[in-house]
Amino acid sequence: MNDKLNNEMIHRLDFGDKHVILVGTAHVSRESVRLVESVIAETRPDTVCVELCASRAQSIRQKQRWQEMDIIRVIKEKKALLLLSNLMLASFQRRIADRLEVAPGQEMIQAMDSAEAVGAAIHLADRDIRTTLSRTWRSLGLWAKAKLLFQLILSLGGVEAISEEDVEKMKQQDMLASILEEVGKSMPQLRNSLIDERDRYLTEKIRTAPGNTIVAVVGAGHVPGIKRYWNDPVDLADLESLPPKGRLGGFLKWFIPVCICLLIVYGFFRGGFSAGTDMVTWWILANGVLAGLGALIALGHPLTILSSILAAPLTSLNPMIAAGWVSGIVEAFSRKPRVKDFESLPTDILSIRGFWRNKVTRILLVVVFTNLGSAAGTFLAIPMMMKYL
């Protein structure tokens, strides 16, 4: 095996009587696939750990999993933005993989196949993806979520400039550390839940895996963290729990609508019927028009756009429901996704046009952009209304 690859990608760690061979990979690299196959074949370990949870391990081997998605349930459970962002991340990885003619996650599939070939146990070492994404989302505010969404949209057009050499460079620890450092500066909450917490989780799962000789296959970005936490205690129960929703967010969810209602009432008493009516008009126009514009940007059905315009002024005053949920459900019934939409989802997410063309992702876009428009309308309406006091 190449000595340079040994030095850069293979790390040997000991924990008690266990000997661990940690292999850092790039998730869309042909070289990583070959390296994983070679290491497991030569080592013939007792156990192979992979950076997958049960649901992800199942999904990368079951290509038709999208057909089981209940889009209405996604909207009702308030997971539209979460799912849309996840699809965009998958799109970015998939397009790099297609460019390099390798399946995304192929090195993990190879690790499991090689483990079966040598009779080694397969140990899933990553935290459940639903827990990770939920903890990540709860750490982000509305603005941070919107910022992340637009960054992901912009990333959809940036794959063509990435070469295989660039992907291989991602496996170099110094470059990767600098990339993660920049992510930490702009969105530290994202780094903590997606990287740091999983570094600790992977560390504990790998060092407590069954067997004495263990090969652990993880993304190169996790290698520095695993080595850093290798001898530190890790509380898995804490990392698997969902933190309570922030009190400030829950308070503002009710406080802002109450203040707006009081502001309108005060406008009628202070400025009279004319001023109060003008304030209500501004509230309806700002919320309705911008929510409708959001639905229009998502290329929603005419009934969807109309529903967002009518719903936004009311839902903005009701903390229990959002305009995007209303418009998303209307879009789902107006243009009900068919089997072919779910079947073509893995292909359609490879382009911006595909995101807007596919009925499934278009529904998600309708929910997100309608909510963003309604939120923008709220903040625009408040100063306009106060002019009449």
Per the model's pLDDT, the better-predicted residue between 70 and 183 turns out to be 70
Q: Which of 389, 111, 96 is nearest to 263 (CA)?
A: 389
Q: Over 90: is that where the pLDDT of 151 sits? A: no
pTM of the complete model beyond 0.85? no
Q: Which of 94-108, 238-252, 306-320 has the highest mean pLDDT?
A: 306-320
> Would the pLDDT of 58 be above 80?
no
Length of the chain in residues, anyone?
389
Least confident of 66-70, 258-262, 283-287, 371-375: 66-70
Around Cβ 70, how many Cβ atoms within 10 Å? 9
pLDDT for the residue numbered 305: 96
Distances in whole angstroms, Cα of residue 68 to Cα of each of 53, 365, 387 = 19, 20, 51
Name residue 218's beta-bridge partners: 24
Residues whose CB is less than 8 angstroms from the CB of residue 39 and which lie 6 or more positions away in sequence, other chains included: 1, 10, 21, 23, 215
Give the pLDDT of residue 266.
87
Q: What is the pLDDT of residue 353?
A: 83
Q: Rounded to whole angstroms, how far apart are CA atoms 135 and 142?
A: 15
Q: What is the CA radius of gyration of the chain?
A: 25
How far apart, in Å, are the Cα atoms of 163 and each of 156, 166, 167, 169?
16, 5, 7, 10
Q: What is residue 181's predicted lDDT score, i.e. its pLDDT?
A: 44
Question: How far apart, in whole angstroms, are the C-alpha atoms of residue 220 and residue 173?
Answer: 7
Per the CB < 8 A criterion, the answer to whether 363 and 328 are in contact is yes
| DSSP strand pairing (10-15 vs 18-25) | antiparallel
The CB density around residue 55, as the number of other CB atoms within 10 Å, is 13
Q: How confident is the model at residue 273 (pLDDT cuts 50, 70, 90)?
A: confident
Rounded Cα distance between 281 and 278, Å, is 5
HEC secondary structure over the chain? CCHHHHHHHEEEEEECCEEEEEEEECCCCHHHHHHHHHHHHHHCCCEEEECCCHHHHHHCCCCCHHHHCCHHHHHHCCCHHHHHHHHHHHHHHHHHHHHCCCCCCHHHHHHHHHHHHHCCEEEECCCCHHHHHHHHHHCCCHHHHHHHHHHHHHHCCCCCCCCHHHHHHCCCHHHHHHHHHHHHHHCHHHHHHHHHHHHHHHHHHHHCCCCCEEEEEEEHHHHHHHHHHCCCCCCHHHHHCCCCCCHHHHHHHHHHHHHHHHHHHHHHHHHHHHHHHHHHHHHHHHHHHHHHHHHHHCCCCHHHHHHHHHHHHHHCCCCCCCHHHHHHHHHHHHCCCCHHHHHCHHHHCCCHHHHHHCHHHHHHHHHHHHHHHHHHHHHHHHHHHHCCC
Q: What is the pLDDT of residues 327-336, one digit of tens each?
A: 999 999 999 8
CB 167 within 8 A of CB 26: yes
How does pLDDT run across 357-385, given as a tens digit for each residue? 889 889 989 998 999 899 899 989 988 88
The residue to which tokens 């690299």 are assigned: 29
pLDDT of res. 92: 61
- pLDDT mean over 244-257: 72
Lowest mean pLDDT among 24-28, 41-45, 110-114: 24-28
Contacting residues for 315 by C-beta, under 8 A, at least 6 apart: 321, 322, 323, 325, 326, 374
Domain segments of the chain: what residues?
3-60+105-240, 247-386
- Beta bridge pairs of residue 15: 18
